[in-house]
């Protein structure tokens, strides 16, 4: 499996293909625009979307886009949910133009006083309202008692709701190891538990954590430099059988080291 596993990293969006080459990576993930703003996506690659799609194909590099962090289609707050849906569609469209394999989006949250069921149903409505030209990969999150995808039961609630939506076959799951650790999930069994709920893991964000399990803190560390047992991390990747994105600190050298570190344990 180690020879077949596709591993890459989250990189700068200006030239993702060159960033992949610098890391010897099979794939890369990046933002299209501002990760903290509602302004729509932009392709900063010289030559635009068509040139990026062609360059990635020629290099044999798979592209994944991460939606802005502020996207929250689960919320009951119309001033956030409505622009979030618009932004989600814009990023789906932009990801499609560059030939991306998927768009990663956080699960979002509801307000303290809200019934979580409202958030689940808002996810269903968002899936039905979005033209899913590329797969949308919902990512588990690290903290927050009102989060939609921190705990397994909430993830199950989201999946049950969206399974009734037209287009649900284009929705997948992205497992972040740091987030799962921060949420207090058991990493030795998390893949089995998640697959029982969501069917499959489509992408793994393989990250160590600077904090203790259950802390709720989303602070990534390089592999072997945090609080997660390296063999447990490798076990998650092995069990998931999905492409891997390293969202670990540093640049090409550090990401090469992390990839080598992971492959050696597979």
CA 62/CA 167 separation, integer angstroms: 23
Residue 1: per-residue pLDDT: 42
Is pLDDT of 59 > 70? yes
Taking residues 99-105, what's their average pLDDT? Answer: 98
In this prediction the pTM is 0.97
> Which CATH architecture describes the domain 7-264?
Alpha-Beta Barrel (3.20)
CA 46/CA 39 separation, integer angstroms: 20
Strands 203-205 and 244-246 turn out to be: parallel
Domain-by-domain residue ranges, the chain?
7-264
Is pLDDT of 3 > 80? no
Is pLDDT of 227 > 60? yes
Is pLDDT of 164 > 50? yes
Residue 4: per-residue pLDDT: 80
CA 166/CA 102 separation, integer angstroms: 18
Is pLDDT of 50 > 80? yes
CA 150/CA 171 separation, integer angstroms: 17
Is pLDDT of 2 > 50? no
Minimal CA–CA distance to 65: which of 93, 25, 36?
93
Confidence band (pLDDT; 50, 70, 90) for 31?
very high
Percent of the chain scoring above 70 in pLDDT: 99
Taking residues 192-219, what's their average pLDDT? Answer: 98
- Kindly state the helix (H) or strand (E) to which residue 235 belongs, with its residue range: helix 230-240
């Amino acid at each position: 499996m180690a020879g077949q596993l596709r591993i890459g990293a989250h990189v700068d969006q200006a030239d993702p293909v060159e960033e992949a080459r610098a890391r010897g990576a099979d794939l890369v993930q990046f933002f299209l625009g501002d990760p903290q703003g509602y302004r729509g996506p932009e392709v900063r690659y010289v030559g635009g979307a068509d040139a990026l799609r062609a360059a990635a194909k020629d290099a044999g590099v798979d592209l994944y886009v991460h939606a802005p962090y502020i996207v929250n289609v689960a919320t009951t707050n119309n001033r956030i949910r409505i622009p979030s849906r618009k932004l989600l569609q814009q990023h789906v469209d932009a990801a499609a133009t560059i030939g991306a394999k998927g768009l990663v989006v956080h699960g979002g949250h509801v307000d303290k006083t809200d019934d979580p069921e409202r958030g689940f149903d808002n996810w269903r409505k968002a899936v039905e309202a979005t033209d899913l030209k590329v797969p949308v990969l919902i990512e588990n999150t690290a903290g927050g008692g009102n989060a939609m995808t921190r705990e397994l039961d909430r993830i199950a609630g989201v999946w049950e709701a969206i399974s009734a939506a037209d287009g649900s076959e284009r929705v997948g799951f992205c497992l972040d190891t740091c987030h799962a650790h921060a949420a207090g999930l058991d990493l030795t069994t998390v893949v089995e538990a998640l697959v029982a709920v969501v069917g499959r893991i489509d992408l793994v964000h393989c990250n160590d954590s600077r904090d203790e399990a259950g802390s709720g803190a989303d602070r990534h560390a390089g592999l072997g430099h945090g609080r997660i047992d390296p063999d447990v991390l490798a076990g998650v990747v092995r069990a998931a059988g999905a492409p891997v994105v390293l969202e670990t600190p540093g640049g090409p050298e550090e990401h090469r080291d992390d990839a080598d570190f992971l492959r050696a344990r597979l």
